Chains A and B, each alone.
Chain A
Amino acid sequence: MGIVRSLLRQPTAVFGLVVVILVVVLALAAPLIAPFSPDEQMFDGLTLEGAPMPPGGQFLLGTDTLGRDLLSRMLYGARTSLIIGLVANGIAVTIGLFIGIVAGYLRGLAGNILMRFTDLMMAFPALLLAIVLAALLRPSLWIVAMVIALVNWVQVARIVYTETRGLVERDFIMAERSLGAGHGRILFLHILPHLVPTAIVWGTLGIATTVLLEATLSFLGIGVQPPEPSWGNIIFESQSYFQAAPWLVFFPGMVILLTALAFNLVGDALRDILDPTQRGRG
């Protein structure tokens, strides 16, 4: 519980934590608190001229171009963002951990090949790769998650690799080896536990990246497909209308920003707490 107490001592981390919890609760409770169905085109959801309703009144955040309640769509959109954030980032961290540990432990030819492959992936323009893949794959929620995982594991692998290299050199690993421990035992019982802090930090920071990437893909129309709401595709659907109805861009945009910011703040605070050597660094 020392971690939580240290977190609560930093005002920015507390802010981040509150926002994270709020978003999670709102996403989970979406069916209970959403005032309307996210897909229902309300008969009174458009003005007489057929324009979206501005915020206030019956529809708290206004309606979108099809007369659907923006607040309800955003609440359900939070579910999409968080599911993709957790799944995609979970996969990315798992791949990164696996490749990083194996490459760092094995070294030799196999380790070298894995790390050269990681270097190769670092030279890929990640966003461009994600856009190309998502566009050509006719995306669904899960495809989007896979695509994001595919471009996001690289950084984790690099960091885990460096840490594993350092750990393998340490005396307690040599002692363990001289006691006759096998590779599996050393990897899972002795090296992996030391990497848990890294996994936690990247498990948090990575969600911010993932949420942003999902929003960007959806904004380009190649992410989560309407009518399934996502914060990115709400903006995608209304961008041609944003001069007349700026709130359709502003509200989802702010929510994306706040969510990513919150995960970044919490992740950064966790890094400070879990890894004192990184304290104060970029």
Chain B
Amino acid sequence: MGFMLLRRLGQAFLILIGVAAITFVLLYALPADPARMLAGRSATAQTVASIRHELGLDQPLLVQFWTYLSGLLQGDLGRSYAQKTEVWTLIVARLPATLTLMAAGILVEVVLGITFGTIAAVKRGGTVDRVVMMASFVGVSAPQFVVALLLLYVFAVTLGWFPMSGYGSFAHVVLPAMTLGVLGAGWYARMVRSAMIDVLNQDYVRTARAKGLSSRRIIFRHALPNAILPIVAMIGIDIGQFMGGVVVVEAVYGWPGIGQLAWQAIQQVDIPIIMGVTLTSALAIVTGNLVADVIAPFIDPRIRTS
């Protein structure tokens, strides 16, 4: 177990270095020129050249990458080109907003998923079951930005229940969290449903039934705890999906998280910030998968023996 964990940590570390390398090459090989962007339209070639020198952009790519990497290994993500602030500081300042949004979104997914997945499994073939199966497809087929705009139109513009955009109170979280959560909930419900059906067909459930336990007790005490196992793994994987979706959702709702930070940086070709956010996202994805793998044997003893 300890050895496995070490190996996985080593792999995760290598993957992050790889992500850094690929992003770096992509960003600096692209035609967009951060120095010209900073200098502005009317700048002379000389000004652009001096800015380029100042940012270290006139050095060979390999040297630049080495500088970046050695900084990275010491926990230094560099400084923003436009704002001159430490990238790390900028990201840390934005992180709470994004984490709040993700947590709220995952909460919506899990609550809706478990509720409707369980009902669908217990009343198989019923209306809820059919709606869940269809909703899981609609969820992966609906564009997030359209859902975001529609929720805004119905609940903020027409009904006025929630604010249009902004950050700070519970009311602000509801619509963005719904946008992220409602779409994913279908798949969660589907997973819970199929796991629940498996569990309900097992001998120990039949035993419980034969003992004369109420079906409520069987479902909630005996079946459900086993049926929600796959959800844990799913949350780990889901974090990756969220990191992408966050850019869109934060753009629509004016949510001041790292997605918005990335979006502003992209428009200014502020490469250190883009690198920082990409790496933070990759870190979240790798950690999510790692945690899901590491936790799995603790909640499901069957995995431990194999």
Contact = CB atoms under 8 A, between A and B. Distances in A.
Interface of A: 12, 117, 119-120, 122-129, 131-133, 135-138, 208, 212, 215-216, 219-220, 232, 235, 239, 242-243, 246, 249-250, 253, 256-257, 260-261, 264-265, 268, 280-282
What is the size category of the interface that chain B forms with chain A?
35 or more
B286 A132 contact: no
Given A136-B30, A137-B31, A250-B150, A261 B138 contact: yes
B38 interface: no
A235 B277 CA distance: 27
Contact of A127 (B18, B23, B140, B245): B245
Interface in B181-217: 187, 190-191, 194
Contacts of B263: 131, 220
A123 B269 contact: no
Interface of B: 15-16, 18-19, 22-23, 26-27, 30-32, 134, 137-138, 140-146, 149-150, 153, 157, 187, 190-191, 194, 240, 243-245, 247-248, 251, 262-263, 266-267, 269, 274, 277-278, 281-282, 285-286
Nearest to B22: A120
Contacts of B140: 208, 260, 264
Contact of A128 (B141, B194, B251, B278): B278
Contacts of B269: 136
B243 A125 contact: yes
| Ranked 8 nearest A-B pairs via Cβ | A127-B244, A253-B146, A260-B141, A261-B141, A125-B281, A136-B32, A120-B18, A125-B243
Contacts of B194: 280-282
A215 B30 CA distance: 23
Given A131-B263, A261-B137, A261-B141, 14 more contacts: A12-B134, A120-B19, A123-B285, A123-B286, A127-B247, A132-B262, A132-B266, A136-B269, A208-B141, A216-B145, A220-B263, A243-B153, A246-B153, A264-B140
